[in-house]
């Protein structure tokens, strides 16, 4: 499974990149699906997206998260945003 940034963003955009939640290292919005380069060499099993967070579960059981880390919502004790 390839991991792409998707979502129903604001203003007709495909994905709203606020807080880095699309996984591209920026806050930019995307109007077309775009591969998440940092995850290109792993096998994703499941992807879950919230308002400003994204979680990817891999076939080996590892979980990656990115986006808004307010209140440690990314699950790894970080309070800031991760991209």
Residue 30 phi/psi, 5-degree rounding, is -120, 135
The predicted-structure confidence for 19-36, as pLDDT tens digits, reads as follows: 555 666 666 666 666 667
Which one-letter DSSP state was computed for residue 59? Answer: T
Q: How far is CA 17 from CA 42, 62, 67, 75, 80, in A?
A: 22, 23, 8, 19, 15
With tokens 């059981």, the residue in question is 61
> 3-state class of 65 per DSSP?
strand
Residues in the chain where the model's pLDDT stays below 70: 1-35, 69, 71, 77-83
The alpha carbon dihedral of 35, 44, 49, 71 has a sign of negative
């Amino acid at each position: 499974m390839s991991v792409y940034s998707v979502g129903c963003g604001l203003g007709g955009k495909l994905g709203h990149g606020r807080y880095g939640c699309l996984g591209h290292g920026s806050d930019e919005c995307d109007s077309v699906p775009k591969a998440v380069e940092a995850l290109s060499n792993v096998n994703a099993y499941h992807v879950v997206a919230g308002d400003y967070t994204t979680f990817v579960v891999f076939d080996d059981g590892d979980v990656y998260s990115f986006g808004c880390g307010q209140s440690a919502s990314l699950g790894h004790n970080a309070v800031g945003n991760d991209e």
